[in-house]
Structures are given as structure tokens and as C-alpha cells.
Amino acid sequence: MHIALIRHGQTDWNLALRMQGRTDIPLNDTGREQARVAASVLANEPWDVVVSSPLGRARETAEIIAATLGVPLGASYDELVEQDFGVAEGTHVAELETRWPDRDFAGKEPDDAVGPRGIRGLERIALDHPRARVLAVAHGTLIRYTLAAITGHETWHYPKLDNASSSLVRFTDASWRVLTVGGADIAEVLPPLDERPEALPLAG
């Protein structure tokens, strides 16, 4: 079982560096082109189905990739939705440190709930598509927390994921394993993880 977790294409809020979270901002034209380019890269390997988060930017990215690859478009999964950043959504990233130095945004989904939720999403996808190769379009923070929950590393030590980048996980020996992060082999990513400083999120 292989699942490629793909961050959705760019939105205007991504471009403006605004916290996005669950605010349903659509793709912009750059984001749509990123989805097409991602599909051309993904075409080098066989895929069985494309699924996504229910948010519009993820769903449209999934639709573009599925149509480009000629692969069925499957269901959306609530477990793949982005972390809720509450009152911070719409705020410019540069303002976060001043307004919420502890990142304690009112209405925020607890950080420690995000990774386990992402893993539940992987498990649901695996149940729906056993032994398949699945493309799952989701969100940057959700993907990073999910990968960190699998490897046991600090989430903020993971590199920021580019729009339309993919991270590959595999289910084997009764557990999930991370194979790539944003297109880079996990063997290249792991050594510096614990040396990374604390960083502000660029969410969505």
C-alpha cells in the first residue's frame, strides 16, 4: 500500500503569506498550473485513484491531477482537512510572533490532535483502497504533522512543503513508513531534522 500525500496548489493567500487553515480559499491560476506539472511528474509511476481533503483548493488540485493522469477521482476525507487555526486565519505570517508568541490562537485545533487525525485518514484510505497506489491531496501542516507522527520527529523540524509537492508513505509490516518528504528521499531529510530551529508555520 502506497499513498502519496500531495500539498494542494497555490492560492492567493499562500502567495500573500496569510494563515489559511480551514478557510476555503480557491486555487489561483498558478496553483492550477502547479497541479498539472505535479501530474506530469507523477505520471512516471502507476496510480490507481486520487482522493483529497474536502476543502476546495485540495479538491480542485485532485480533480486536475486525476483528469491529467486519466485516473479515477475518489472520495474526500475529513481527516485530511487542514489544521484549524481559529482566529489566526487570514493573518499575515509575519504578524504571528507579535500577536500570538505562543501560537495559542483562540479556536485552534490542538497541535497534538493533527498527526493522529492524519494517520486515521491514511487508515481509512487503506481500508477503502487496499493494496492500491493512492494520490491523496491535502494540506501542508496536516501532511507535516502526519509525517512527524509516523517518524517520531518534531513537526516544526520538518522542511516547509512546497505547493503541489508530494511525500510518499507505505504501509508495511503493520505500520506506516515515510519514504519521501516533498520529493526528497527520507534518508536525505532525516539527519538534519533534529538540528532545525523552531520555526513559524506557513499553513494551508
Calculate the alpha carbon distances from 13 to 134, 163, 190 in Å.
28, 12, 30
**Contact status, residue 38 vs residue 15, Cβ threshold 8 Å:** no
Catalytic residues: 8, 82
Tell me the C-alpha to C-alpha distance, in Å, between residue 32 and each of 29, 85, 130, 137, 163. 5, 25, 29, 13, 10
Q: For 114-194, where are the E strands, in sequence order?
A: 133-138, 166-172, 175-178, 180-181, 184-185
